[in-house]
Amino acid sequence: MQPPQCQKILLAELFEDLEDSTHLLLANRNYHLHILPAADIWVWGDRNWLQQALLMLVDTAIVYGQTEHMTLTVAVNESQAIVDLDLGCPQTAWSEPKDLLGQDPPPSDLRPLAQRWDFSPGMKLLLAQHLLEAMNAQLAIVEPDNPETSPALTRLRLCLPLA
């Protein structure tokens, strides 16, 4: 795997590309992705890797979602852009069975697995996390502002270094 090709990225352009890439899938399911303005916020990272990580997360939320609305917001502190992605799926959708990686599948099960690259939500979250960590960014599941009123809401927080 090649190292990331880090450069300055304008978040507004990245989010516009994300909206364009998910438009049809969102429309087919009658979902809405609300992206709150992120004007003039530049981050440091590999544009393709960051876009792939965001696409994996949004796509998974669309497939496993229970509500039609997703929101992407941005805040900035002294060294990071903090991107909160509020998704309409429960946090349990992102978890894996505890013993999943410790089991060896029987040899007869390997062929279908190799032919099918349909990763679970937990695996997609892990892949996105590794992509972001390679760019000195972070991904975590955090509690939404009102977890009692929104039990089916998951908030994913991406912390991206400012350029």
pLDDT tens, position by position, 102-135: 555 554 554 454 445 567 888 888 889 999 999 9
Number of domains in the chain: 1
Gyration radius from the chain CA atoms: 17
Q: For residue 9, give the nearest of 38, 39, 47, 36 by alpha carbon.
A: 47
CATH of the domain at 76: 3.30.565.10
Q: Residue 72's domain spans which residues?
A: 7-95+118-161
Mean pLDDT computed over every residue of the chain = 81
Examine residue 102 and state whether it is found in any structural domain, yes or no. no
Examine residue 111 and state whether it is found in any structural domain, yes or no. no
